[in-house]
Amino acid sequence: MKYGRTLSQASNRFIASICIFLALSISAFGQTNTSKPTTSTLMANGQDPTKGSTYVGADTCKTCHEDLYKTGFVHTPHIGLIRTGKRGCEDCHGPGSAHVEGGGDVTKIIRFSQLSVAEVSERCLSCHQTSAETSNFGRSAHMAKGIGCLTCHSPHHAKEGPSLLVNTQLTLCYGCHAKQKAEFARPYRHRVDVGLIQCSDCHNPHGTFVSNQLRTDAAGFEVCVKCHSEKSGPFSFEHMPVKQEGCMSCHTPHGSSNQRLLRVSQVNLLCLQCHTAIDGRDIPGMPSFHNQATKYQACTMCHTQIHGSNFNEFFFK
């Protein structure tokens, strides 16, 4: 009898365990089915949350989002979407009929805060890809590192200018580029900190076909000649490092402890990096009478047109 009672108790415990397991499973299944998917989940699965919706017009959007419409849309360049016959809000967020009919159902509209970086940039580039300034963003260094449009721009809450930046350009750039920020604090530097020039004057943050996202002129030459046009040539007698290696072979572009943003403190040391006689190399070495006495240490005292000359092959004039 004792054995029978023990077996009965074990059976009861087993049945109770099965009931609890089934109850938890049903509860979890119910929660899974009743929870609504997020916009990001839908987009990641290739589903458009606005599929099947129709356009309702910006005036309908304004009935619920009036403050945002007046402060974060009317006074931005995007108001031009309506003025040029497009749809405005729904050009970015998708058709809104299902969103409206659902009483503002957030899963029936495209919310940028719920999209991945790639999804946000893809939507922005659907319009901005046609601009020469932004057409390379898909292959840019920023995009490759997960920096998307909304990292720097805010369509509705911008703080800086028509570019809809979330902060000043300098603050945004320095937020990631700490090394360059330190370089601009050196004794000789381009005057970015005082606003004379901006990072985007030399770099295109949306990408170029040149390293470091540098801008170039029409001939493909470095952006330095945009300001230093007298150095661009063409010259009858070219200094090859200028054309082949570029300005940064001798200068540091952001800042330096040396005058003229030179990479070394003495001009002759810079020149001797190339002009040292080495067998098998066709670069002329230092003449024998240049014994590096004090009067020969400032090469540019005589070779004044070191970037190129139209009159003298030794760049004397």
Q: How confident is the model at residue 220 (pLDDT cuts 50, 70, 90)?
A: low
User: Pick the residue with more confidence: 40 or 56?
Assistant: 56
Which residue bears the tokens 């940039």?
121
Is residue 135 a part of any domain in this protein? no
94: nearest Cα among 132, 134, 59, 49: 49
**Cα 69 vs. chain centroid, distance in angstroms?**
27
Task: Report the mean per-residue pLDDT for the chain.
Answer: 83
Is residue 62 a part of any domain in this protein? yes
Q: Considering its fold, how many domains does the chain have in total?
A: 2
For residue 48, the enclosing domain spans: 36-115
How confident is the model at residue 275, as a pLDDT? 83
User: Pick the residue with more confidence: 76 or 129?
Assistant: 76
Measured distance CA(39)–CA(116) in Å, rounded:
10
Give 251's Cβ-side CA count (13 Å radius): 15
Predicted TM-score (pTM) of the model is 0.76
Is residue 271 a part of any domain in this protein? yes
* From 127-141, 156-170, 266-280, the region with the lowest mean pLDDT: 266-280
- Choosing from 96, 115, 134, the residue where a domain stops is 115
In the predicted model, what is the mean pLDDT of residues 294-305?
81
How confident is the model at residue 31, as a pLDDT? 42
- Choosing from 67, 97, 115, the residue where a domain stops is 115
In this predicted model, what pLDDT tens digit does every residue of 100-125 receive, in sequence order?
A: 999 999 999 999 989 999 999 999 99
Structure tokens at 152: 């720097």
Is residue 255 a part of any domain in this protein? yes
Query: Which residues are CB-neighbours of 277 under 8 A, at least 6 positions away?
Result: 285, 286
pLDDT of 39 higher than 80? no
Is residue 231 a part of any domain in this protein? no
Q: How confident is the model at residue 6 (pLDDT cuts 50, 70, 90)?
A: very low
How confident is the model at residue 245, as a pLDDT? 83
Torsion of CA 25, 28, 30, 31, to 10 degrees: 180
- Choosing from 58, 91, 115, the residue where a domain stops is 115
Is residue 286 a part of any domain in this protein? yes
In this predicted model, what pLDDT tens digit does every residue of 264-290 receive, in sequence order?
A: 988 888 888 888 877 667 777 777 777
Is residue 170 a part of any domain in this protein? no
In the predicted model, what is the mean pLDDT of residues 236-245?
87
Is residue 31 a part of any domain in this protein? no
* From 42-46, 127-131, 249-253, the region with the lowest mean pLDDT: 42-46
How confident is the model at residue 93, as a pLDDT? 95
